Chains A and B, each alone.
Chain A
Amino acid sequence: MRIILQRLGLGLITLLVVSIVIFVAVNMLPGDFAQVILGQGATEEASAAIRESLELDKSLTARYFSWLGKLLTLDLGTSFAQLNFASNMGGAGTVTVAEQIAPRLGNTLFLAGVTAAIAVPVSVMLGVLAALYRNTPFDRAVNIFSLTSISSPEFFLAYVLILLLAVLNPILQPLSNINSDMSFGEKLEKTLLPALTLTLVVMAHMMRMTRAAIINLLASPYIEMARLKGMSPMRVIVRHALPNALAPIINVIALNLAYLITGVVVVEVVFVYPGIGQLFVDSVKIRDIPVVQACCLIFAAAYILLNLTADILSILSNPRLRHPK
């Protein structure tokens, strides 16, 4: 139990340090935020108002703690684009960053969920099959296929899938312009193509790890025993090897879900999927610092959380780590 609490504490500290890194990186920006927001032709009053609302007159540490305090109450500020709009239009009708991000975060989680639901069972199954038929043409074909899809850029896979499944054979939708009014089935249909792309990206790694973890165990005495009893190879692997290989497999699944977070950015842009990755890229292009900061923090938090989960799960699934001497 203590070791798990230790890991949790370590994760929390990492998150805190990461928030400092992000904050300092953004505040290294030269020049005046007010000018970035309002452009060159800003009036003096408008600039002063924005400087005050961003607390630019205070010191860096004071600003960090006030930012952190607001973060804990989910107050992520207002985006520069919205501020600019508001200062030109007279203040009304702004949307805060939290309100901008919330629906998109839901969409991204939906995409990640669909991807995981496809990728995890398929890759574990293929990994088991590759281990069962190791060093056969099937294994080689799977190996080459997985190596190819790991090393291709996400947008290459995405466009090949669009070409095959949306343009030449119109089975799926090439654009994933989902919104909250759609039914679940409609959403799923439009999410399928980006989810398939992400599946191809993450599947290869999980599959290779499953295969390696199982093959690692095949020389153990208890596998030998099971074989000598006359069990079928499939049964040996599923009943005896797989449960013992579960720890590394769970670990690699969690790590790949963490990898999904990076992959999601490019894939969302390709399919115009209204998720947090697209918002992030759009904000990067117009230098909308509060949104970039918030998105970056969310991505980093999810990444750290999943890595932490992987750590804790591998401790829980290993009795030797659960009860350290």
Chain B
Amino acid sequence: MSAWLWIIATLLAVAALGWVFRAGGRWVTGNAPRFRDMSYGEAFGFALAAAALAGGTWLYLQPGAVFFRWAVQGFVIFAVAAYLFRELGRLIGTEGTRKLFRQMPLTAAFGILVILVYSFVAIFAGQISLRTVIIVAVVGMILTEIVRRNTGDAAATGFGGLVFAVNLVFVVMYLVGPIAPHGQEQVFELANVVAGGDPALGGNPDFPLGTDQIGRDILSRLIFGAQNTVGIAFVTTLLAFFLGGTLGLLAATLGGWLDQLLSRGVDVLMAIPSLIFALLLMTIAAVWAPQTGIPLTYFMIVIIAVIDSTRVFRLARAVGINIVVMDYIEAAKLRGEGLGYLVFREILPNATAPLLAEFGLRFCFVFLTIAALSFLGVGIQPPLADWGTMVRDLAAFINYAQFAPMAAVTPLLAAGAIALLTVGVNFVVDWMLQKSSGLKE
């Protein structure tokens, strides 16, 4: 009860402060327009911000507020990193990308930075083979050649530079070795090592975040989680897009009974909440999987891809129907072009922008669904390291927050890793949508 009293008292104090601030401002500046026209709400906002800032500073200096300090430090580090990344983007690159970075809000820069860092960690979590390096180099060369033939020299130079940079990163990482200090399935004899690396508290400097209940290094599993969780979510989204996009554009182009059939089928599938439906199908797959010998994770990929492809289908069909009535489609039909040409060369290029934004959002949903399923224990199966499962396994550590903050933060790190990526992707998509719709208000 006293907590409520404190909150009410603080609010009243802030309200009084806001009034005093406005009245004082009027008095000191001799009724300047800035203060004369200020609404009370605005004054209250200023007072609230000042109170929050003061309270935050006070809390930051308290010796016990470890988590608050970490949160503030993390926030500042992320903000500074995003700012530096944006400044870097403004200096390096072709004229087009530099312009893009100049208009970019800080949140979007943060999102792009997060996506880049996650891809980097996911690709180089384990030791990459020499073959991968060579394949990347060859594919890069072929792509550059294609770009050079299809577009001007300026674009090819920019693209070539990008390919060169990527190749350089691959070669360097091949020589440097894996990011993760240990393997994801490697079991050590030391189980339940406390995080923090301090031997006096039961830690071990070899395992900065400790080991789990059967002695696997948590830091390594966190890093490999990027590869597994993000990789699987990415593959699932690609599959959902391939399925939903193709069928949606086909339904839009052909119309008629195929359109009706697919649309009604999608309506029915969408009437069941997706997580519930996924759980039902996973139950059935769990019976199927041992009989067929296919790992449950593959079933999960297909199930979630099919469920999410219904949403993609809706969008692709809606976008496609608006394009199909255009004159250039009519012209292509009169030229006698085939269905494949119509869908992939005429409709798809004109539907790229909305589909790309949808890809980002869809990836977030798929990623969250997979994380939720794994958290509930029916998603990605062990021994693959995965963030959702890690959160569930380590959750009990939260209760030790007052004695061992480092140990308590490990489940939050895994959950936060999921949150960070979805937040980043959402920031980028938000910016893309705002840019393409031209909305300023």
Report A's interface with B, CB cutoff 8 A.
Answer: 14, 17-18, 21-22, 25-26, 28-31, 36, 129, 132-134, 136-138, 144, 147-148, 150-156, 159-160, 162-164, 167-168, 171, 174, 215, 232-234, 258, 261-262, 265-266, 269-270, 280-281, 283-285, 287, 289, 292-293, 295-296, 299-300, 303-304, 307
Q: Does B383 contact A (CB under 8 A)?
A: no
7 tightest CB-CB pairs across the interface, nearest first? A156-B415, A152-B419, A151-B422, A262-B275, A151-B426, A299-B276, A167-B401
Q: Does B272 contact A (CB under 8 A)?
A: yes
Q: Does B176 contact A (CB under 8 A)?
A: no
Check A287 against B276 for contact (C-beta < 8 Å): no
A301 smallest CB distance to B (angstroms)? 10
Check A167 against B402 for contact (C-beta < 8 Å): yes
Q: Which residues of chain B are near A304, meaning CB under 8 Å?
A: 271
Q: Which residue of A lies closest to B376 (CB)?
A: A281
Q: From known contacts A133-B42, A147-B430, infer whether A167 and B398 are also in contact, taking CB-CB under 8 Å.
A: yes
* Cα(A174)–Cα(B368), bound, Å: 23
Indicate which residue in B41, B412, B422 contacts A163 across the interface (CB closer than 8 Å).
B412
Q: Which residues of chain A are near B426, meaning CB under 8 Å?
A: 147, 150-151
Q: From known contacts A14-B268, A262-B273, A266-B376, infer whether A281 and B279 are also in contact, taking CB-CB under 8 Å.
A: yes
Indicate which residue in A17, A22, A155 contacts B280 across the interface (CB closer than 8 Å).
A22
Check A152 against B423 for contact (C-beta < 8 Å): yes
* Cα(A164)–Cα(B377), bound, Å: 25
* Cα(A303)–Cα(B269), bound, Å: 12
* Cα(A266)–Cα(B268), bound, Å: 24
Q: Which residue of B lies closest to A216 (CB)?
A: B441
Check A159 against B391 for contact (C-beta < 8 Å): yes
Q: Does B287 contact A (CB under 8 A)?
A: yes
Check A147 against B427 for contact (C-beta < 8 Å): yes
Q: Which residues of chain B are near A137, meaning CB under 8 Å?
A: 49
Q: Which residues of chain B are near A28, meaning CB under 8 Å?
A: 284
Q: Does B161 contact A (CB under 8 A)?
A: no
Q: Does B95 contact A (CB under 8 A)?
A: no
A111 smallest CB distance to B (angstroms)? 16
Question: Chain A at the B interface: mostly helix, strand, loop or mixed?
Answer: helix
A191 smallest CB distance to B (angstroms)? 17
Q: Which residue of A lies closest to B276 (CB)?
A: A299
Check B41 against A303 for contact (C-beta < 8 Å): no
Q: Does B254 contact A (CB under 8 A)?
A: no
Indicate which residue in B275, B281, B398, B401 contacts A265 across the interface (CB closer than 8 Å).
B275
Q: Does B408 contact A (CB under 8 A)?
A: yes
Q: What sequence of 0s and 1s flags, for each residue 364-396 of chain B, a beta carbon within 8 Å of any chain A beta carbon?
A: 100010011001111000000000100100010
* Cα(A283)–Cα(B401), bound, Å: 32
Q: Which residues of chain B are near A300, meaning CB under 8 Å?
A: 271-273, 276
Question: Chain B at the A interface: mostly helix, strand, loop or mixed?
Answer: helix
Q: Does B119 contact A (CB under 8 A)?
A: no
Q: Which residue of B lies closest to A234 (CB)?
A: B41
Check A18 against B371 for contact (C-beta < 8 Å): no
A25-B280, A155-B375 known; 13 other A-B pairs, CB under 8 Å?
A29-B284, A29-B288, A133-B42, A134-B441, A152-B419, A153-B375, A156-B416, A167-B399, A234-B41, A261-B273, A284-B282, A292-B280, A296-B276
Q: From known contacts A29-B284, A233-B39, A266-B376, infer whether A153 and B415 are also in contact, taking CB-CB under 8 Å.
A: yes
29 A-B residue pairs with Cβ-Cβ distance under 8 Å, sorted by A, are A14-B268, A17-B271, A18-B268, A21-B268, A22-B272, A26-B284, A29-B284, A30-B288, A148-B423, A151-B422, A152-B418, A153-B372, A153-B422, A159-B411, A160-B412, A163-B401, A164-B67, A167-B408, A168-B402, A234-B39, A265-B279, A269-B376, A281-B376, A285-B378, A296-B276, A299-B273, A299-B276, A303-B272, A303-B276
Q: Does B267 contact A (CB under 8 A)?
A: yes
* Cα(A293)–Cα(B283), bound, Å: 10
Q: Which residue of A lies closest to B272 (CB)?
A: A300
* Cα(A320)–Cα(B350), bound, Å: 35
Q: Which residues of chain B are near A296, meaning CB under 8 Å?
A: 272, 276-277, 279-280
Q: Does B204 contact A (CB under 8 A)?
A: no
A105 smallest CB distance to B (angstroms)? 14
Indicate which residue in B276, B282, B286, B377 contacts A262 across the interface (CB closer than 8 Å).
B276
Interface centre among A36, A168, A232, A300 (most CB of B within 10 A): A168
Q: Which residues of chain A are near B416, meaning CB under 8 Å?
A: 156
Q: What sequence of 0s and 1s flags, for each residue 399-423 of chain B, a beta carbon within 8 Å of any chain A beta carbon?
A: 1011000001001100110110011
Q: From known contacts A14-B271, A284-B283, A285-B377, infer whether A265 and B399 are also in contact, taking CB-CB under 8 Å.
A: no
